[in-house]
């Protein structure tokens, strides 16, 4: 597997990856693809690459994109689910189904964490559904739960 920066011509793939990032419990009917256009969701990719803190890594396998991890600071009118302030980049990660539970998510996360440390970010955040198996991966990477509601954890990782 190769982990590299996303290429500009691959930005349209972020729509599919954003859809795959939405937690959908086993045994439930899939949500319609159009759900990504909900402003609370679309904010994660809207005009991606045009903000200073937009950065994305992809996992490539056999010349195919297996998944991606991206960060951005969501400080405008629509905040991200994992927003804690206007200076903390928020994580989004997604793997296509056939590439899940193979360790690629951890590789992507570690690569992005290294990048963020080199860039001098103090911390990063994310939101994850409590039933999502990825919550355990985030905890293993050092993310701490700072807030929770009935369904989700708000997690932060100190980088410095």
The stretch 147-160 carries a mean pLDDT of 95
Helix (H) or strand (E) holding 68: strand 64-72
Residue 147's SS3 state is strand
Q: What percent of the chain has pLDDT over 90?
A: 89
Q: What percent of the chain has pLDDT over 70?
A: 100
Residue 77, pLDDT > 90, answer no
Check whether 78 has a pLDDT greater than 90.
Answer: no
Going by pLDDT thresholds of 50, 70 and 90, the confidence category of residue 160 is: confident
pLDDT of 91 > 90? The answer is: yes
- Average confidence (pLDDT) over 135-142: 95
- Give tens-digit pLDDT for 36-53: 999 999 999 999 999 999
DSSP state of 62: T
Q: Tell whether the model's pLDDT for residue 76 goes beyond 90.
A: no
b or e along 21-44 (b: 16 or more beta carbons within 10 Å of the residue's beta carbon)?
Answer: bebeeeeeeeeeeeebeeeebebb
User: CA-CA distance, 100 to 5, in Å (whole number)?
Assistant: 20
* pLDDT computed for residue 79 by the predictor: 87
Residue range 60-84: mean pLDDT, rounded? 91
Backbone phi and psi for residue 55, each to the nearest 5 degrees, phi listed first: -150, 135
pLDDT at residue 10 tops 90: yes
**pLDDT band at 75, cuts 50/70/90?**
confident
Mean pLDDT of the chain: 94
* pLDDT beyond 90 at 123: yes
What pLDDT is attached to residue 45? 96
């Amino acid at each position: 597997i190769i982990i590299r920066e996303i290429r500009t011509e691959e930005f349209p793939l972020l729509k599919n990856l954003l859809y795959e990032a939405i937690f959908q419990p086993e045994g439930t009917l899939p949500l319609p693809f159009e759900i990504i256009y909900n402003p609370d969701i679309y904010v994660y990719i809207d005009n991606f690459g045009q903000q200073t803190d937009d950065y994305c890594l992809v996992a490539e396998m056999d010349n195919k994109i297996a998944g991606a991890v991206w960060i951005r600071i969501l400080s405008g009118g629509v905040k991200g689910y994992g927003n804690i302030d206007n200076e903390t980049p928020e994580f989004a990660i997604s793997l296509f189904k056939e590439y899940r539970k193979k360790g690629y998510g951890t590789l992507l996360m570690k690569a992005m964490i290294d990048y963020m440390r080199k860039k001098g970010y103090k911390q990063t955040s994310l939101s994850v559904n409590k039933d999502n198996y990825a919550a355990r991966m985030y905890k293993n990477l050092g993310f701490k739960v700072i807030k929770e509601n009935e369904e989700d954890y708000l997690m932060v990782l100190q980088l410095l």
